[in-house]
């Protein structure tokens, strides 16, 4: 049986109070907390193995390089990458998407089309918009309803002009899952490349890039119990080969003269400069952490927390909930005539951390007709008491803020 | 509701011993701030850098005593604005220019309501009311 109370013991940060209350951390879609083993891995690296990787033949350098490359393999196994060397380290999801958006620029013609969904985070929107500005290609938005369903005539968006389709697996703002398998299939039917933004999925859903068969899959370490400043660009080998490096310098070269540079092989070709070694090791430790628990049981638990909050709040006049009742690990809502930041402020004063705002998704907020939402997002260490405490405190806040 | 004096606002805020107390006090204070009309909530009066919309108008009316009016779509921010405006309401331009607004702000005991992401907006407000 899955036990959030024992998992919680692995997270030292959750043992402290917030103001004079117990800390209730429900901003996990922004970033998760880190278990002791991730923190120990990072500290241990600096205490026993710190050296630059892939250069210098000495004791520590060999140790650091071997741990760094093992970390890559751990992540490759975690997402079921078919081959070694298909995981490129990045700063996070945003850098991974930019690496692709700049890397394929040389393949884009002015009459090409780039497709994204209408539920994207700015990170999976602005890089494609800017690519369309640079190349003259047309950016097209596939309309999805806020419950993640295709809208009519979606198939018309896919054509032989479609060069790449970039789509999120789970909406960060409203928690809904998109039908990425169908999106990938439609893209393949017209010979377009695919990029799946897994930032919000990777901590909750088992991911197999082999099964998905997408060209690129990207995510951040810090949203899956790993450190900040490290993320992953997975790519099929030929897809990665097609990218021109958008950063050049050390590490990514084989031979340099003043006249020319011969680039290194993958994955190093796309990793200019000294990498975030501690981050890679910490991320691998986070993969181990996730795999040591029954991921399906954890997911069911997280969904039951969101559903509990939903059921407490759903019948309240003035509350509009945008996230799905079932199969979501977060709840996202707005309250009529009450400012999100006021609700956020009251919850904070009670030690409850949630996120209020537009969630880096302005076009989606416009589609929903709100300026922002209040989002409580759950992780493996959250308890049923916390879900109830959030919902009941929100009701208190509404009562306090609506009295005149 | 009549605008409370600076000393009364200072006393109310200094009596707060928790974030929750301060929250409730700011909500109460928000009710003392007269609302702006829709016409007054023009873009030219909007302060950039706030999480909630904030409008601030300074009317000089050919006197040396500027009149400050402000509004926000969030109650918490209206409470903060009521507190800030109490520092300068009824003062002359010369008096305001001689004030050390940032140290006066700390006497309001707003603590983490100013240190979080609201800071930028509040700095912009202070800059505008300083009449320099």
Contact of B55 with chain A, judged by CB distance below 8 Å, is answered with no
- Residue B50 appears among annotated catalytic residues: yes
Q: What is the pLDDT of residue A112?
A: 98
Measure the CA–CA gap between A159 and A346, rounded to whole angstroms.
50
Q: What is the mean pLDDT of residues A178-195?
A: 96
Residue of A nearest to B22 (CA): A349
From CA A40, how far away is CA A225, in angstroms rounded?
13
pLDDT of amino acid B2: 65
Cα–Cα dist A96/A164, whole Å: 15
- The mean pLDDT of chain B is 87
- Whether a cis peptide bond, with omega within 30° of 0, leads into A367 is no
Selecting from B18, B31, B75 the residue whose C-beta is nearest the C-beta of A20 gives B18
Residue bearing the bigger pLDDT, B93 or A166: A166
Q: What is the pLDDT of residues B46-64, one digit of tens each?
A: 987 777 889 999 998 888 8
Residues in chain A closer than 8 A to B31 (CB atoms): 404
The answer to whether the CB atoms of A341 and B77 lie below 8 A apart is: yes
- Per the structure block, which two tokens stand in for A100? 């692709």
Question: Does residue A269 contact residue A248 with C-beta atoms inside 8 Å?
Answer: no
Full DSSP string of A252-321: SEEEE-SS-EEEPPTTGGG--SS--HHHHHHHHHHHHHHHTS-HHHHHHHHHHHHHHHHHHHTTSTTEEE
Q: Which one is catalytic: B26, B33, B50, B83?
A: B50
pLDDT in tens, A138-148: 999 999 988 88
* Per-residue pLDDT at A40: 98
CA dist B57 and A94 (Å) reads 39
Q: Is B73 on the interface with A (CB under 8 A)?
A: yes
The pTM of the full predicted model, rounded to 2 decimals, is 0.94
- pLDDT attached to residue A334: 97
| Contact status, residue B30 vs residue B39, Cβ threshold 8 Å | no
Q: Specify the higher pLDDT residue, B63 or A62.
A: A62
Query: How would residue A204 be classed by pLDDT, with cut points 50, 70 and 90?
Result: very high
pLDDT of residue B117: 55
Q: Locate A132 and state its tokens.
A: 């369309």
Across A79-98, average pLDDT: 98
Under the banding of pLDDT at 50, 70 and 90, the label for residue A93 is very high
**For residue B82, what pLDDT is reported?**
94
Of A19, A341, A404, the CB nearest to B52: A341
Of A19, A341, A400, which has the smallest distance from its Cβ to B74's Cβ? A341
Residue keyed to tokens 């809208």:
A151
- Please give the ipTM for the structure prediction: 0.90
Q: What is the radius of gyration, based on Cα positions, of chain B?
A: 14
Question: What is the C-alpha to C-alpha distance for residues B66 and B93, in angstroms, rounded to an integer?
Answer: 7
Q: Which residues neighbour A316 within 8 Å (Cβ) at sequence distance 6 or greater?
A: A395, A398
Residue B94 Cα distances to A220, B42, B66, B70, angstroms: 54, 28, 10, 21
């Amino acid at each position: 049986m899955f036990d959030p109370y024992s998992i919680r013991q692995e997270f030292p940060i959750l043992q402290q109070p917030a103001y004079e209350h117990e800390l209730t951390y429900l901003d996990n879609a922004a970033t998760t907390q880190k278990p002791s083993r991730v923190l120990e891995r990072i500290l241990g690296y600096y205490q026993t193995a710190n050296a630059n990787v892939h250069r210098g033949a000495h004791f520590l350098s060999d140790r650091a390089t071997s741990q760094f490359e093992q970390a890559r393999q751990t992540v490759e196994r975690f997402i079921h990458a078919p081959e070694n060397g298909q995981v490129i380290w990045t700063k996070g999801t945003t850098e991974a998407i930019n690496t692709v958006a700049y890397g394929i620029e040389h393949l884009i013609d002015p009459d090409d089309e780039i497709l994204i969904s209408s539920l994207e985070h700015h990170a999976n929107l602005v890089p494609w918009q800017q690519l369309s500005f640079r190349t003259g290609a047309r950016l097209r938005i596939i309309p999805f309803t806020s419950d993640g369903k295709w809208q009519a005539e979606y198939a018309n968006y896919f054509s032989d002009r479609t060069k790449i389709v970039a789509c999120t697996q789970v909406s960060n703002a409203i928690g809904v899952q998109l039908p990425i398998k169908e999106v990938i299939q439609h893209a393949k039917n017209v010979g377009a490349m695919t990029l799946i933004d897994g930032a919000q999925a990777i901590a909750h859903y088992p991911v197999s890039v082999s099964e998905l068969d997408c060209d690129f899959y990207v995510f951040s370490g810090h949203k899956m119990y790993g450190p900040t400043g490290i993320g992953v660009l997975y790519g099929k080998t030929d897809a990665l080969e097609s990218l021109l490096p958008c950063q050049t310098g050390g590490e990514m070269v084989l031979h340099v003269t003043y006249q020319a540079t011969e680039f290194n092989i993958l994955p190093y070709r796309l990793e200019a400069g000294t990498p975030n070694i501690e981050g890679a090791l910490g991320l691998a430790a986070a993969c181990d952490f996730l795999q040591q628990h029954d991921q399906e049981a954890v997911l069911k638990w997280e969904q039951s927390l969101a559903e509990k909050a939903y059921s407490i709040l759903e019948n309240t006049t003035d509350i509009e909930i945008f996230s799905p009742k079932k199969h979501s690990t977060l709840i996202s809502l707005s309250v009529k005539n009450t400012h999100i930041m006021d609700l956020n402020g009251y919850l904070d004063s009670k030690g409850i951390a949630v996120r209020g705002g537009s969630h880096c998704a302005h076009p989606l907020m416009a589609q929903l007709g709100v300026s922002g939402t209040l989002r409580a997002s759950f992780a493996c260490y959250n308890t049923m008491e916390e879900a109830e405490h959030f919902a009941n405190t929100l009701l208190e806040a509404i009562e306090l803020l609506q009295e005149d | 509701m009549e605008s409370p004096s600076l000393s009364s606002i200072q006393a109310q805020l200094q009596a707060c011993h928790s974030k929750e107390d301060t929250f409730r006090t700011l909500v109460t204070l928000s009710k003392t701030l007269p609302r702006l009309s829709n016409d007054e909530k023009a873009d030219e009066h909007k302060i950039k850098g706030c999480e909630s919309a904030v409008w601030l108008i300074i009317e000089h009316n050919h006197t040396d005593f500027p009149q400050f009016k402000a509004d926000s779509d969030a109650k918490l921010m209206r409470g903060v604005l009521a507190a800030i405006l109490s520092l300068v309401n009824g003062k002359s331009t010369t008096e305001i220019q001689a004030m050390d607004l940032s140290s006066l702000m700390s006497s309001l005991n707003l603590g983490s309501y100013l240190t979080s992401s609201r800071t930028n907006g509040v700095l912009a407000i202070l800059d505008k009311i300083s009449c320099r």
